[in-house]
Amino acid sequence: MAVTPANVASPDSQEIVLKFPDFISPIPYPLRCHVQEREVSRQSEEWLLSMANFSEKQRSKFLTLNGGLLSGMCYIDCTFDELRVCTDFMNFLFTLDDWTDEFDTTGTRGLAECVMNTLYWPHSYQADTAAHRLTKSFWVRMKQTAGPGCQQRLMSTLDTYFQAIMQQAADRGSHNIPELEEYILLRRDTSGCKIGFAFIEYAANIDLPDDVIEHPIIKAMADATNDLVSWAN
């Protein structure tokens, strides 16, 4: 399915409109959702709101995101506790995305350092920030059952996410518009999908070998899935 450019003229300017095909209708698989999604969603929302220090406007926006429903439809067959970790992270990721939209590169770098330091040293690193408290909370629980490869992939893909977000902030600050191919590569890292792939392993109680993760076919499938989600968003 191709992306079709169409030139739309107006009296004052010319705009290029990209018409994307219908990504959803051709999918043959039935929709499924974790049977405990609603209770997990409720608990996870309370968890994040108790630590995130949101304004009323931020709180109202967060409650419309339905991160729990997204997790429940992605990680269908895991346990209640595993879905809770997945949902907590999904809600946290949405919050990170909102925070970084408001930050320049310096602010984003500080946020990234706080989160990554918490992942590497959850029991010794200390910071009086919501980002630290939220990261430590989900990470300590995840580490109880996640395999070493899965843990490393979460840290690696989250670091890649932050690097891409900082590049995005730099582009925004300098009014730089990337070329299409450059943007596609950047969007694969800012979408958060690569982090979500690590949670597939966690939710399925598997720890894939590196040679499987790095296999060209698996990488191509991951890129295609990432693009499908990113472009439809």
- Give me 63's structure tokens: 């409650």
CA–CA dist 147, 207 (Å, integer): 5
CA 119-74-113 angle, to 5 degrees, is 20
Q: The whole model's pTM is what? A: 0.88
Domain boundary assignment for the chain:
4-232
Q: pLDDT value at position 4? A: 52
Superfamily in which the 4-232 domain is placed by CATH = Farnesyl Diphosphate Synthase (1.10.600.10)
On the question of pLDDT at 1 being above 60, the answer is no
Over the stretch 115-173, which tens digit does the pLDDT of each residue have? Answer: 999 999 999 999 999 999 999 999 999 999 999 999 999 999 999 999 999 998 899 88
Out of 7-21, 99-113, 152-166, give the one with best mean pLDDT: 152-166
Q: Which is more confidently placed, 45 or 232? A: 45
Q: Grade residue 13 by pLDDT with cuts at 50, 70 and 90.
A: low
Instruction: Please answer whether residues 195 and 153 qualify as being in contact, where contact means their C-beta atoms are separated by less than 8 angstroms.
Output: no
Dihedral through CA 79, CA 85, CA 90, CA 91, nearest 10? 120
Instruction: Please answer whether residues 46 and 170 qualify as being in contact, where contact means their C-beta atoms are separated by less than 8 angstroms.
Output: no
